[in-house]
Amino acid sequence: MEGNLDVRGAILLYTLAGLMITFAGFAAVLLAIRQAVGGHLSSLDRFLAKTVLINVFVLTWGAVLPPLLMLYGLGEDKVWKIAAVLFALPMLAFLLTYSHRRQKAVGQRPARGAHAVFVVGGSAVVVAMLVYVLGGFEHSAAAYISAVVLDFFTLAYAFVAALDIILAHGQPPPADLTK
């Protein structure tokens, strides 16, 4: 019989993955409701929906990655280090290019508050986790899982902040969203 192949926090990671996919479905349903009541989807709506879905899938990747790596018989310390790098690289690329991608897609930069929480806060969390885990400090599992959780909540904050725009029922967004 094989030994326990689960990493510390595996149940929490599986729960997070399920929660994140549910959140993505909720976001998609909100857009469908808007269309059903006659609202059209603007380029900003489509960009925000795509951003939420991509972010959720990167976060889900981060949640399932440690248990997946454990299946390869790696030691738990190696699992967290490899997972930290394989999660941090796409997440940082996604977060750090957000403002540019939004400017290109809709002609507007994100609101300052959303940028501060989503881009700056989310990136800082990932970098801190990466440094901590690769530094070999105790409780790498806690640092890694905390980063996934905190980045999920930065996404949730950014999504809630964007709800006024998404559910505006065809009203044009304010001319300047940077205030």
Specify whether the backbone of 117 is left (phi greater than 0), alpha (psi in -120 to 50) or beta.
alpha
Of 11, 17, 8, 15, nearest in space to 140 by CA: 8
pLDDT in tens, 105-128: 999 898 888 899 999 999 999 999
pLDDT in tens, 46-70: 888 889 889 999 999 999 999 999 9
Asked whether residue 102 is assigned to any structural domain, the reply reads: yes
Task: Read off the CATH number of the domain in which 87 is found.
Answer: 1.20.120
Residue in the block written with tokens 């989503």: 118
Identify the sign of the CA torsion 103, 24, 150, 162: positive
Confidence check: pLDDT of 176 > 60: no
Q: How far, in Å, CA of 41 to CA of 167, rounded?
A: 10
Asked whether residue 103 is assigned to any structural domain, the reply reads: yes
Q: How far, in Å, CA of 27 to CA of 53, rounded?
A: 8
Asked whether residue 58 is assigned to any structural domain, the reply reads: yes
Non-local (6+) Cβ contacts of 77 within 8 A are: 136, 140
Asked whether residue 178 is assigned to any structural domain, the reply reads: no
Model confidence at 169, pLDDT cuts 50, 70, 90, reads very low
Q: How far, in Å, CA of 146 to CA of 131, rounded?
A: 14
What mean pLDDT, rounded, does the chain reach? 86
Number of domains in the chain: 1
Confidence check: pLDDT of 159 > 60: yes
Asked whether residue 177 is assigned to any structural domain, the reply reads: no
pLDDT in tens, 1-57: 355 567 888 888 888 888 888 888 887 787 777 777 666 777 888 888 889 889 999
pLDDT of residue 167: 64
Domain with 44 in it: 10-166
